[in-house]
Amino acid sequence: MRVLHFCWEYPPRGSGVGKYIAEISAGLRELGHETIIATSRGAGLPEREEFPNGSIHRIYDESEIGSRAVVDRVLALAREMRVDLIEAVDHLGEAAEMLTIQSRPPVLINCRYNDVVLRARYAQAWHAWQRRAIDLACLRERKRLARERTSIEGAELLAAPSAWMLDALLDQGLRLPERRAVLPKPLASLPDWKNAEAAEPTLLLVGRIDIGKGIGYLPEILRRVARRQPGVVLELAGGDSYARFLGSMRDWLERHLGAERARVRFLGPLRPRELDEAYRRAWAVIVPSRWDTSPTALLEAMARAKPVVASPFGGMSEYLGDKRWIADPGQPAFAETVLSLLEDEPGRRALGEYLRKRLAQEYSPRRAAERFVQFAESALR
């Protein structure tokens, strides 16, 4: 099979979606399939790269996203490379125009994040009045949202990284393609990984500092944990973000932390080696998201044999495979679950090792590629 992945994100540009494409394409090549990546240009990056069973083509600028000109270039590349299937993503609706063209390969839309889904949209609202501001912003972006909806409803095949995402689409009444599947996000395990916890009990949250990642819950979580673990430290690895009428989310969080501010270390965006060290220090990783279909941080923690406590608002329980470590971050149960790990060193080591093995067995690039091929071949038949 020859698969063309179409998305403006691809390492070193972008974030989660780009990492997914890198991992799934590597898994497909490992199985003997050919992958072609059509992506955006970047400063200092070659327009074309070749490697065994694959190639990268940087053929458009970020400013061209959603245009017919980009679609024509991608389809020309698909014809040249004789691809069997095009995979694109829902976010930004890059492939919407492509779906109006009849003479082309089938398109699989990987549904990961979009503002069409109200659950995802309103996860960014901490105050009720913010919903109205978000709706107004989405009204201004109505063309993009229309492209995203067209991508979801008009594709021949639809995939999502968790059942949670598909349920959100169905609950909202979107008309989904009949050929759809849950295709979990892959991540390769790190070889020869060794943990070395910090001296003091340390929690780690990896991701952009924003409301959707659950930062509003952190002050109360820390207060509850500190009652039994007064030396607890929380490290935040990720860049700042800005919300309408709230400003800097880091400043907002610092104001709400109050006395707990002394327990928090803002690490900012980290290079890979620095991120590894942050994971190594952590006693546990927390994912208190208000919405998250398949956070990369969850898989990164599993790859590093780190125990995880996550919220139920997303696909996290599907990846962890054990609901004992799932708790509502807005309730005392989240802090209690965190404490159960901080106070049980053998238990958190055992959980970390279990999660690392689970990642290797269920979410390796090769295993993800096997699922991808099985779904694609079955659906196309």
Q: How confident is the model at residue 77 (pLDDT cuts 50, 70, 90)?
A: very high
pLDDT digits (tens, 9 = 90+) for 327-359: 999 999 999 999 999 999 999 999 999 999 999
- Asked if residue 165 and residue 86 are part of one domain, the reply reads yes
- Asked if residue 12 and residue 151 are part of one domain, the reply reads yes
The CA-based angle 201-288-267, given to 5 degrees, is: 55
Report if residue 151 sits inside a domain.
yes
- The residue ranges of DSSP E strands in the chain, in sequence order, are 2-6, 34-40, 48-51, 54-60, 85-89, 107-110, 157-160, 180-182, 202-206, 233-237, 242-243, 247-248, 264-266, 284-287, 308-310
What is the share, in percent, of the chain residues with pLDDT greater than 70?
100
pLDDT of residue 347: 96
- Asked if residue 373 and residue 336 are part of one domain, the reply reads no
How far apart are alpha carbons 321 and 354 in whole angstroms? 10
- Asked if residue 147 and residue 22 are part of one domain, the reply reads yes
- Asked if residue 292 and residue 177 are part of one domain, the reply reads no
Report if residue 192 sits inside a domain.
no
Q: How confident is the model at residue 380 (pLDDT cuts 50, 70, 90)?
A: confident
pLDDT beyond 90 at 381: no
pLDDT beyond 90 at 371: yes
- Asked if residue 372 and residue 242 are part of one domain, the reply reads no
pLDDT digits (tens, 9 = 90+) for 10-41: 999 887 889 999 999 999 999 999 999 999 99
pLDDT beyond 90 at 281: yes
Pairing of strands 247-248, 242-243: antiparallel
Concatenating the DSSP letter of every residue in 15-34 gives SHHHHHHHHHHHHHHHTT-E
Domain hosting 320: range is: 202-362
- Asked if residue 335 and residue 206 are part of one domain, the reply reads yes
- Asked if residue 218 and residue 133 are part of one domain, the reply reads no
CATH number for the domain spanning 318: value is: 3.40.50.2000
For the chain, the domain total comes to 2
Instruction: Tell the burial category of 342 from Cβ atoms under 10 Å away from its Cβ (0-12, 13-18, 19+).
Output: buried
Report if residue 84 sits inside a domain.
yes
- Asked if residue 243 and residue 162 are part of one domain, the reply reads no
List of long-range contacts for 53-57, beta carbons under 8 Å, 24+ apart: 53/29, 54/25, 54/29, 55/81, 56/10
pLDDT of residue 322: 87
Q: How confident is the model at residue 191 (pLDDT cuts 50, 70, 90)?
A: confident
What is the share, in percent, of the chain residues with pLDDT greater than 90?
88
The one-letter amino acid code at 91 reads: H
pLDDT digits (tens, 9 = 90+) for 145-156: 999 999 999 999
How far apart are alpha carbons 246 and 264 in whole angstroms? 20
pLDDT of residue 192: 86
Report if residue 197 sits inside a domain.
no
pLDDT digits (tens, 9 = 90+) for 206-238: 999 999 999 999 999 999 999 999 999 999 999
- Asked if residue 275 and residue 206 are part of one domain, the reply reads yes
Q: Which residue has 């050929």 as its token pair?
A: 179
Report if residue 356 sits inside a domain.
yes
Report if residue 126 sits inside a domain.
yes
Report if residue 38 sits inside a domain.
yes
Longest dimension (CA), the chain: 64
Q: Is the CA virtual torsion 260, 199, 238, 299 positive or negative?
A: negative
Q: Residues of 144-167 as b/e, b for ≥16 C-beta within 10 angstroms?
A: bbebbbbbbbbbbbbbbbbebbbe
pLDDT of residue 218: 98
Average pLDDT over residues 114-123: 90
Give bridge partners of residue 284 from the DSSP assignment. Answer: 203
pLDDT of residue 310: 98
Report if residue 68 sits inside a domain.
yes
- Asked if residue 307 and residue 284 are part of one domain, the reply reads yes
Q: Is the CA virtual torsion 6, 9, 11, 13 positive or negative?
A: positive
Contact between 183 and 359 (Cβ < 8 Å): no
- Asked if residue 347 and residue 328 are part of one domain, the reply reads yes
pLDDT digits (tens, 9 = 90+) for 224-275: 999 999 999 999 999 999 987 889 999 999 999 999 999 999 999 999 999 9
